[in-house]
Amino acid sequence: MDKIGTFFKKSRLLGNLLFVFLVMSLCIQKFIFYDKIIFRIFPVVILLIVALITRFPARAFDDTKDKNPLLALVLSLPILFVTYYYVLGIEKVYYLLVRHKDGFDRLLLAFFLVFNVMLSYWIAYALIPLKKEVSRKKLIRTFVLFASLFFLYVLYLPVDSFVGNIDNFDFSCKEFIWYYVAFFISVTVITSLAFLKLGKKIQGYVYRSVLALLIASFVQYMFMNKKLPYLDMTSEGSHWGIVTHLINISVWIAIFVLVFLMPKFLKKKFAKVSTVISGLIFAFHLVSLIIVLIMAPAKVYGEKIKYYYDGSEQYQLSTKENVVVVVLDAYDNSDLMAHYNEDPSMFSSLKDFTMYTNTVSRFDSTVTSVNQFAGGCEFNTEYSIKDWLDHGWNSDNTVNFYKAMHDNGYKCNAYNFELPYLEYAYGKFDNIKSYDKPRELKVVQFRVNAFLDDFEKLAIYKCIPYFGKTLLASTFDETTFHFYAWYDESTTMNYYNNEFLENLDYTLTDDKVFLYNHLYGVHEPCDYEVEDARCFEIMDEVIKELKDKGVYDNSTVIFMSDHGKHRSGDETIGSSPIFMIKRTGETGDEISFNAAPISLDDFMGTVALCAGLDDPSQYGTSIYDFDEDSERTRIVYEKWYVPNLPAVFSAGHLSYMSKFNAFVKFEVKSNVSDIKGIDPLKDKEGLEILPMKEYFG
């Protein structure tokens, strides 16, 4: 290290440039391999600014005789952990190392890993406290303060919130708890050592600010959130009056003023008193967390399930008759028509198909729409989600439809990404299986960084003043606190577009087959252009596979979506999910277009007709009951948020987290453009707004 120190003393400019290069590589890595959540770059930017201002990278080696290289190696571990856990995303590193097949990407990752180790060691070496800089008492006082703050925000509140809402999650605390513990220790160590490197005067201001923040946060969430409706993070929070805001912010100001005046009144006793205060708050939360975990329900430590998807026959078809349904989530007719107008050759493989350009779905979200058209779950705002599913899947019409399919020799397999509530479709779809006894649900991949993002925001939300809560609430939406885990029962199937394509290789059986594949499609969040192109590739490859296996002519093939585009902000469009069909033996010279007023309500009747069931009309209308001149009023229910209606329970999310609390009933009489541009909060005439009992989007 002495030689390295001598080199950097002579070449400070080169040393600083090398350090800047290593820091910038973190940004490069993030945008090459990982998600693009910008706020995770903030620590990198701050580090870069500090490095440029203080020039500490090269100066870190000025005191090599007083620093232990082995201690720097130990300190580099929490820095490396934070780099991968927070900045980059640890589940993406796992994906690249274990599942990704691109050798070049793996090689690139190996190079960056070396860069990250160098950077972590360099920062650790710079943070080693020198004996002349800090006493043991000061070191302890600093660690107690930052440990208390981070324990509250990073560990206690997130875990407490998870346990308090465990009924909304299907995974246990073991999926994330040790990451949280490691993250808490890491940020405490790094921040404390960085604090000790500050100038004495700046240390005083920072120390008092952190202490004031700790006390104010504790007071806020313990005593001043009484008017906070459970975990309400919708714009309902804006109902706090001006008096409430003034009292709240006055308390915060008072706490900061008192803490900053404490050294003046307490003088030398300030250090001891501040340590006692932060220590007591830390002890309170530590004991509280232990009690929370001891008293937690058994589900916190493991989820039991009885029903699961069997994905072993996802690519199995019949040598006799098939009805093949491929659902491309959120794909809209407007996108396909734009492609056709730009380049008709893209549709060459679809020459035998009819594309219905005037389609509506009964609902505008996946859970509601799929269970409606495939499970017969009709609209009813009086039901909870479980009641709604029970009444739909166990209705006479739905039970009789799947019984008739089975009686006609069809094996019915469905592959969807929704694991909960499979018991309602049990007996209808053959690949939904049941264990003899409930067993623990096993998670094979967990989005620990998404969990961190959401629950850290929740912790901040609980601790900040009311005006801050109102601002932060706008960053939450219906996807928050959702889709963290992939389970062993559900990952036996291929839901993502690329994985479906990579494994697409049909095998044949003598049983007739009704095969329903629900894929990611162009569902947000995604790189739209990439997934849009993959959707066309999926359709092309499915057709090619059917022809290669010799079952194309005896198959009805349907490419459809569960819903079209969502309305967003002021963009009030009329969504139209795609629906393209080729019946058994049907051929054509080019794709044909049909503007008949069809709806996904027609799904069950259409499948019954194409499968050759007796009297298919008893299962509902089919798309063939309508032509372009048909007059038909179709009903569409869109989820909406209505300010003067109460927030509702949100199944599958944190309670009361939904941005929606009502359905708006639209009537589409001719074309989906009928409801384009309509804002139900402004254009109420002729519209019915129906309060939800429970949101299940």
Domain spans in the chain, listed from the N-terminal domain onward = 1-128, 132-302+448-482, 306-447+483-695
The answer to whether residues 154 and 639 touch, using CB atoms and an 8 Å cutoff, is no
- The rounded percent of the chain whose pLDDT value lies above 90 is 45
Residue 665 is inside which H or E element, if any?
strand 662-668
Instruction: Please give the pLDDT value at position 248.
Output: 93
pLDDT band, very low/low/confident/very high, at 419 (cuts 50, 70, 90): very low
What is the rounded CA–CA span in Å between residue 148 and residue 17? 36
Mean pLDDT of 206-217: 96
The answer to whether residues 686 and 680 touch, using CB atoms and an 8 Å cutoff, is no
Alpha carbon 245 to chain centroid, angstroms: 32
18 compared with 261, residue with greater pLDDT: 261
| Per-residue pLDDT tens over the stretch 46-80 | 766 766 655 667 666 766 666 777 888 888 888 88
What is the rounded CA–CA span in Å between residue 414 and residue 365? 18
What is the rounded CA–CA span in Å between residue 624 and residue 188? 66
What is the rounded CA–CA span in Å between residue 603 and residue 374? 7
Which of 4-8, 125-129, 196-200, 516-520 is predicted with the least confidence, judged by mean pLDDT?
4-8
Average pLDDT score, the chain? 85
| Per-residue pLDDT tens over the stretch 602-646 | 999 999 999 999 999 999 999 999 999 999 999 999 888 887 887
Which of 32-46, 243-257, 278-292, 430-444 is predicted with the least confidence, judged by mean pLDDT?
32-46
Nearest to 92 by CA among 50, 9, 33, 140: 33
Give the ranges where 267-383 is alpha helix by DSSP (H).
269-295, 333-342, 366-373
What is each CA distance from 658 to 235, 641, 648, in whole angstroms?
10, 9, 7
Write the DSSP assignment of 30-61 as a string of letters: HHHHS---GGGGHHHHHHHHHHHHH-HHHHTT
Report whether pLDDT(364) > 80: yes
345-365 as b/e, with b when 16 or more CB fall inside 10 Å? ebbebbebbbbbbbbbbbbbb
The answer to whether residues 126 and 69 touch, using CB atoms and an 8 Å cutoff, is no
| Per-residue pLDDT tens over the stretch 387-415 | 888 999 999 999 999 999 999 999 999 99
3-class SS of residue 309: strand
Mean pLDDT of 467-491: 75
Q: Which tokens is 110 given? A: 């190996």
Q: Sort 206 into a burial class: Cβ within 10 Å, 0-12 / 13-18 / 19+.
A: middle
What is the rounded CA–CA span in Å between residue 302 and residue 297? 10
Instruction: Please give the pLDDT value at position 570.
Output: 46
CB atoms closer than 10 angstroms to residue 646: 13
Instruction: Please give the pLDDT value at position 232.
Output: 45
pLDDT band, very low/low/confident/very high, at 512 (cuts 50, 70, 90): very high
Nearest to 574 by CA among 566, 562, 586: 566
SS (H, E, C) 559-571: EECCCCCCCECCE
Q: Is-cis flag, bond preceding 438, omega within 30?
A: no
What is the rounded CA–CA span in Å between residue 111 and residue 120? 14
Fold of the CATH domain 306-447+483-695: Alkaline Phosphatase, subunit A (3.40.720)
Instruction: Please give the pLDDT value at position 35.
Output: 57
